[in-house]
Structures are given as C-alpha cells and as structure tokens.
Structure 1
C-alpha cells in the first residue's frame, strides 16, 4: 500500500467528496480593454494574461507580457492571487495558475475560491485537476459558429476534494515529476542543439582547390 492509499484508508475510508465548480468557485469571464484608448495601456502595471503568456512562460504565471493601467479596469475586480484561468474558447482546455493579482483576456474563464466556501482546497491540487478539466472542456463544446465550451455544463462539472493532507501529498508527487520532466526537456534540447552543431560540422566540407597546371 503506497502513501496515498494509506492516507485514503485513514482519512477517507468511505471515499472522497465531489463538488461542482459553481459550488466552490467564483466563475468570471476575462476582459480585453479597448486597444483604441492609450490610457488603458501606456505605462500599465497590472498583469493582463493571454495565451501567449502560457506559451512563453508556462502554466505558473507571476507576470505577463502585456500590462494594463488601473483606468482599464472600469470598475472590474482583479482576479486574486491563486486563481485559475482556463481557456473556454479558441484553444480550448489550456490553463494556468495565477500567483499575482491580474486580469486575462476573454478567451479565458477565471476560477477563484469563493470567500464563503469553507472547503479545504489546495489550489495547486486543483491546478493539477485542471488537466482533466481541460480534457473535459475539449469534449464538451458548442460548435455553432465559434467553438466554445458549454458553460452551463462547465459550472456543473464535478471534481474530487480529498482531505487536505492527501491533496498536499499528491501535489508533492506531481511537482517532483514536473521538475523531472522539465530537466529532461532541457537536457533533450541541449543535446538536440549539440547534435545539430556537430551534424553541420561533420557534413560540411571545403571543395577541392583546383591545381594549377
């Protein structure tokens, strides 16, 4: 019996609780300030996330490529720290954990634990759960016109919430695998560049110099 099984046997012998997204989270849409108003963008300090940020900087985000000004908020609340954004249109299913107060564009739906929700939830655990949620999103889209996730069903999506100690142990294990995967990819990229360098060197020759008669 591994450690997770032992913890489940001890802390959740009858099974774990499942909750819907709308029971646990405040669910909001992203927002794009008008590009025609420079006051919304010039010298901005508030992170504003797009899909490019995930592609450039991964899935744990503490700053963005583009920033907006307080004037761009127009009464809208910032996403609090430890929120999740998940793409529910266009490139569906991609997600990230935001560790800074911020906004994101309308491609994303934002999930933040409700202030009045007393369920113990490690947001890093839910971040890993979102890999499964992302796959669900890809299979539950409205395809009339522009592809988008069925948001009524999205809010009813159920996910497991084991005891906090189990959540933290799962996060510890998955963090270790993530770090190992990153190291392997870095090593693979370095070896690829090395291979390309030596391939170029080994397959490049000077032509014969014609002998003078």
Structure 2
C-alpha cells in the first residue's frame, strides 16, 4: 500500500532492497603513512593503505566508537576499510550512490538514536542499516538535481572552512611577528620591555552565589562567567545570569569591561589556556581570575592578545602540580612576563591590527554557520520531497 505521505513520484524502500552491505577486514594498525589508497577507519580522518578491499562506488560509516552515527564517507574507486566499518555498495538502478550518501548522512543518526534509551549508541548492528527506509524520487534526474544542490552547498561550506583555516594561520603568523617585535608596524621604532602581568594591574577572583537562593538567580541581569564560558576571544556575555542581590550577597565579583579573564582551574587546561577580554561588565566565579589593567601605560587589548599568544608558555610555567583538577598558580601568573612596546600608541596599533583579523575571522565563521544551517534545511526539505527540484 502506497504511503500517502510520500510526494507524487516518490517511493520508500529499505536499504537492503537498494544496495549490499558488508564490513571490512582490516585493523587500524594496517595503515601505511604513505599508502597508495584511502583507508577508512572509525574516524572522520581518512588514513592510507597499500591494499585494496573494494573498488567501486560506496558509502562507509563507523560500526562503533565515538563517531557512531556521525561519520560518513563517499568513495568511488579503490580503497580498503576497517573490520568495524560498514560499506553500503552495489546500488540498484533505483538510487544514485550520491543521493544515498546525502540521505544516509542526514537521517541515520536519528534512526539509531531512536533505537536506544541511552544518550549515545555504542555500536551499529547490520539490521540497523538494512531495515532503514529511504525516501527517493523515482526519476533519476530529480535525484541528480538534489545531489547537485547539496553538493554545491557542501562546496560552499568546504570553501569557507579552508578560508577560515588560512586566515587563522595568517593571524597566528602576525601574532608571532608583531608581539615579539620581529616585524614592526610603519612609524614605530621605540624600545620594548618584558613586563610581568602583575605590574599591569591586580588579579581578582570571584565565587558562586548560593544555588538555594532563588532571588540570586531568578530574573537575573548580570552575566555570571564560569570556566565553560571562557575560550579565546571577546566575551559579550555568559550562559547564566544573576541578580544584583547575588552580587551583594555572595563572593562573586563584577569586573568592568576591558578586563582580561584567565581560566585558572579546569580540566580544559590540559588542552589550552582560555583567555578572553570582556566587552561588558561581568561577574566571575572562583575558577576565573581577572587581570584589571590599572596602568595607563598598557593597552588592555594589547595585553589580551599577548596573553593569548603566550597561552602554551603560561601552561608550562604556571601550572600547579599534584592537584586533582588542573590549576594555574596565581603567583606564577603574576610573575609571567609578556613583551610590550614602551610606546602605548604602538601597543594600540598592534592590538587594532590583530582585532581586525579576529573580526574578519568571526565574520567568516558567522557565514559558515549560516551556510551550515541553510544546508541542514535543504537536506530536510529536498530529501523528503517537501521541496521539489522538477
């Protein structure tokens, strides 16, 4: 009986009626650094190998691991694949391999999540793939138009990702040059000096208002910053808001805009040193230390960029040992030195150049996020027939 929810000219079939399903025979240790062929493992990263386990058109997905239901690859050629990677191949004339790739990538995760009561899926069974229903237009030309539209969306996203990566590398190089005086901006030739962060201003910490006090949290207006809010860049607010009563009645502290916020206690310090400069007044908790630039000799934005560039060195020089949670030694942080031009105008010029680069990257990231949202909407509409390309 025809599904009345299907658009005219569309059919719905299980994958086992549209293609064959198999798994690989290789292990991760079989990879070859400079191998001739792609080697698909349980990761978005494609390794290399010298053996051929498949030659043709197919779609691969991880059978277990952290990427279950989220990792998909399209191949049309020679490759090999892991023993816990599923390959869908030998597509029937009813479906385009590229159409299947987009459909499977769009809906498989939701399918497997609907089959478990847990927050994640540990492994994929063959029938989870075989019994999955696929909606598709019977007309191959309509399938091809859908594939072309989604491929164009992918190309836009990939192009933006490459451009952002390039801009980040350019900014990294600029930071290494401008913040060490290897390259001077036009018009500046004055002396530089090493300055301890503690000479720039005092460090202050905060606290957490009582969660039992409803009047501390209900209808809050003051951004309350914890370590989860701080990464790298400019801070415009926080996930949680507190009231003025909480500010007055707890150990939290409000710091004015232009403060430099360091995460000093968090597991994230295993990976990098989060540093931000706040554009609005915020309250901070006990895991944050704020440097309050008091001396007119130092540009807050310059100090921020210098601290970001020194993140790895801060972790090496200031990390406490023997603590349960990774922590920064505040006295060591106060002693930590950054390179500073003595001329504040040069500090401002360097900060402005780096801030402009940050703004350009942020604008590209906003475009990328919008492109991803548009593509998500396209997949939901084109792959279900809500919008027709005929």
Q: Shorter-normalised TM-score: what interval?
A: 0.7 to 0.9
Residue in 1 that maps onto 2:332 = 153
Quote the offset at 1:186 in angstroms: 3.6
Residue in 2 that maps onto 1:74 = 249
Q: Deviations over 1:47-72 (max 9, x none)?
A: 211234346xx732233221222222
Q: Deviations over 1:3-38 (max 9, x none)?
A: 9354332xx1xx212221111211111211111222
**After the TM superposition, which parts of structure 1 deviate over 6 Å for at least 4 consecutive aligned residues?**
194-205
For 1:46-195, list aligned pairs within 5 A.
46-54=222-230, 59-72=233-246, 73-74=248-249, 77-90=253-266, 91-92=268-269, 93-114=273-294, 117=295, 119-139=296-316, 140-144=318-322, 145-162=324-341, 163-190=343-370
TM-score, length-normalised on structure 1?
Answer: 0.76
SS of residue matched to 1:7? coil
* Alpha-carbon distance in structure 1 between the residues aligned to 2:378 and 2:242: 46
Q: Across the two proteins, how many residue pairs are aligned to each other?
A: 195
Q: Which has the larger radius of gyration?
A: 2
* Alpha-carbon distance in structure 2 between the residues aligned to 1:190 and 1:78: 34
TM-score, length-normalised on structure 2?
Answer: 0.44
Distance 1:202 1:74, change over 3 A: closer
Q: Which runs of 5+ in 1 are unaligned?
A: 206-213
Q: Which runs of 5+ in 2 are unaligned?
A: 1-181, 386-390
Q: Deviations over 1:49-103 (max 9, x none)?
A: 1234346xx7322332212222223376521221111101112311211122221
C-alpha root-mean-square deviation of aligned residues, in Å?
Answer: 3.0
* Alpha-carbon distance in structure 1 between the residues aligned to 2:356 and 2:321: 38
